[in-house]
């Protein structure tokens, strides 16, 4: 017996939200009822692309939809998501989940009380190479990640920690089954008034250590993570969708050294956003668990916030040492 299409909407249809709208319009089991954006012209243009309604106030959609994507500015996530969750609507909110931890906690409690899905748009979790890696038993002892990007003025309303590093924070917290014991962090302002490059060392109670570097002022793009464990390590190239396994084999009788076997798999170009929205729809229908829950998003935000605090504290110390003539 076929189900009725899930009635969906995209809230905030600028750079990213318009792609959410396109996925809902394309899927056979969803109906894009409307899009909403504070800019009437943006809402009208995207709505015309998909033959749906256009709204400037998200509250006009309450009661008309079953599920929404929220891709508005981070400072608006809480208020918009709260309205839909309270109305019993499933919500997929872009990362970071909210601007503050108190807001994230409030949304998670509300979603749990209303019995609806709250999923966070940590898109890298749906990268084909990472999804394949996650199917293997992992016991990380050391993780190293680099996420580098050229300067783009569009994303400078938040620090590089909340813009880029939070992707790797979320992945690492999912891979390491242990509470965080200690965080150390440093960084710098270079082209903007906020943190443009940052490095964090995450130490977990089980002994695993993660070294995480993110920059939005690089001359190249790179999204890579290496996971080391006993007798093996894996390398994930998120950008090119390459997964490499390196593991010890039998001892070479001639050299007395163990052989190192390397298995590499290159994945075809895949639509990670489509995979994310399909997962959200399945969770909303009760057909699958939520892959990136609101609690996952809250943990990532909590860690990212702590890293930001540590970097800012270090910058303040350096600023006092440099004196009033410092250019940074």
Q: What is the pLDDT of residues 200-243, one digit of tens each?
A: 999 999 999 999 999 999 999 999 999 999 888 999 999 999 99
Out of 84, 99, 116, a domain closes at 116
Q: What is the structure's pLDDT at 327?
A: 40
Whether residues 313 and 166 share a domain: the answer is: yes
Cα dihedral 149, 127, 145, 242 in deg (nearest 10): -100
SS (H, E, C) 244-264: EEEEEEEECCCCCCEEEEEEE
Between CA 314 and CA 101 the distance in angstroms is: 22
In this structure, is residue 251 part of a structural domain? yes
Q: Edge to edge, what strands does the sheet with 142-148 contain? A: 180-188, 197-204, 209-215, 142-148, 222-229, 232-237, 242-251, 258-266
Whether residues 186 and 145 share a domain: the answer is: yes
Whether residues 262 and 130 share a domain: the answer is: yes
Contact in structure between 172 and 145 (CB atoms under 8 Å): yes
Whether residues 32 and 131 share a domain: the answer is: no
Contact in structure between 203 and 181 (CB atoms under 8 Å): yes
In this structure, is residue 237 part of a structural domain? yes
Between CA 101 and CA 297 the distance in angstroms is: 10
Q: Which helix (H) or strand (E) holds 278?
A: helix 272-284
Q: What is the structure's pLDDT at 248?
A: 77
For the chain, how big is the Rg over CA atoms in Å?
21
Q: What is the tally of structural domains in the chain? A: 2
Domain containing residue 167: CATH number: 3.30.360.10
Name the 3-class secondary structure at 204: strand
Domain containing residue 25: CATH number: 3.40.50.720
Q: What is the pLDDT of residues 44-73, one digit of tens each?
A: 999 999 999 999 999 999 999 999 999 999
Q: What is the structure's pLDDT at 319?
A: 53
In this structure, is residue 130 part of a structural domain? yes
Q: What is the structure's pLDDT at 83?
A: 98
In this structure, is residue 261 part of a structural domain? yes
Whether residues 103 and 144 share a domain: the answer is: no
Whether residues 92 and 109 share a domain: the answer is: yes
Whether residues 77 and 213 share a domain: the answer is: no
Q: What is the pLDDT of residues 241-270, one digit of tens each?
A: 999 998 776 667 777 677 778 899 999 888
- 286 phi/psi in degrees, rounded to 5: 80, 20
Whether residues 54 and 167 share a domain: the answer is: no
Whether residues 134 and 204 share a domain: the answer is: yes
Reference 204, options 181, 170, 224; nearest CA is 181
Q: What is the pLDDT of residues 69-126, one digit of tens each?
A: 999 999 999 999 999 999 999 999 999 999 999 999 999 999 999 999 999 999 999 9
Whether residues 144 and 261 share a domain: the answer is: yes
pTM of the model: 0.90
Contact in structure between 8 and 66 (CB atoms under 8 Å): yes
Residue 147 pLDDT more than 60? yes
Contact in structure between 187 and 314 (CB atoms under 8 Å): yes
Out of 92, 116, 140, a domain closes at 116
pLDDT band for position 179 (cuts 50, 70, 90): very high
pLDDT band for position 1 (cuts 50, 70, 90): very low
Between CA 100 and CA 91 the distance in angstroms is: 18
Whether residues 162 and 248 share a domain: the answer is: yes
Residue 293 pLDDT more than 90? yes
In this structure, is residue 67 part of a structural domain? yes
In this structure, is residue 295 part of a structural domain? no
In this structure, is residue 173 part of a structural domain? yes
In this structure, is residue 1 part of a structural domain? no
Q: What is the structure's pLDDT at 187?
A: 96
Whether residues 102 and 166 share a domain: the answer is: no
Between CA 255 and CA 270 the distance in angstroms is: 43
Contacts of 88 (CB under 8 A, 6+ apart): 114, 115, 116
Residue 321 pLDDT more than 70? no
Question: Which comes out higher in pLDDT, residue 277 or 156?
Answer: 277
Out of 116, 150, 175, a domain closes at 116
Between CA 128 and CA 121 the distance in angstroms is: 16
* Residue-number span of the structural domain to which 180 is assigned: 125-268+304-317
Name the 3-class secondary structure at 54: strand
State the first-to-last Cα distance of the chain, in angstroms, to the nearest integer. 63
């Amino acid at each position: 017996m076929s189900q009725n299409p899930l009635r969906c909407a995209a809230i905030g249809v600028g750079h990213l939200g318009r792609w959410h709208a396109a996925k809902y319009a394309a899927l056979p089991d969803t109906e894009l009822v409307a899009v909403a954006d504070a800019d009437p012209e943006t809402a009208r243009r995207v709505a015309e692309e998909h033959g749906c309604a256009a709204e400037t106030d998200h509250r006009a959609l309450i009661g008309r939809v079953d599920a929404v994507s929220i891709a508005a500015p981070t400072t608006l996530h809480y208020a918009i998501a709260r309205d839909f969750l309270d109305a019993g609507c499933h919500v997929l909110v872009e990362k970071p989940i909210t601007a503050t931890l108190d807001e994230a906690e409030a949304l998670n409690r509300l979603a749990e009380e209303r019995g609806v899905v709250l999923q966070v748009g940590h898109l890298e979790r749906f990268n084909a190479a990472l999804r394949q890696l996650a199917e293997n038993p992992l016991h990380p002892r050391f993780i190293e990640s680099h996420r580098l990007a050229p300067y783009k003025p569009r994303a400078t309303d938040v620090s590089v920690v909340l813009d880029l590093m939070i992707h790797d924070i979320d992945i690492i917290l999912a891979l390491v089954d242990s509470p965080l014991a200690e965080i150390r962090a440093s960084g710098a302002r270079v082209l903007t008034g906020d943190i443009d490059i940052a490095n964090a060392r995450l130490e977990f109670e089980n002994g695993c250590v993660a070294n995480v570097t993110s920059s939005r002022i690089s001359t190249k793009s790179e999204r890579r993570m290496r996971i080391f464990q006993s007798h093996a390590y894996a390398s994930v190239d998120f950008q090119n969708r390459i997964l490499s396994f390196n593991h010890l084999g039998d001892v070479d009788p001639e050299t007395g050294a163990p052989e190192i076997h390397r298995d590499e798999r290159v994945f075809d170009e895949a639509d990670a956003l489509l995979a994310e929205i399909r997962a959200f729809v399945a969770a909303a229908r009760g057909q699958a668990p939520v892959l990136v829950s609101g609690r996952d998003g809250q943990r990532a935000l909590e860690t990212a916030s702590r890293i930001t605090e540590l970097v800012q504290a270090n910058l303040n110390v350096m600023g006092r040492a440099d004196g009033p003539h410092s250019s940074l």
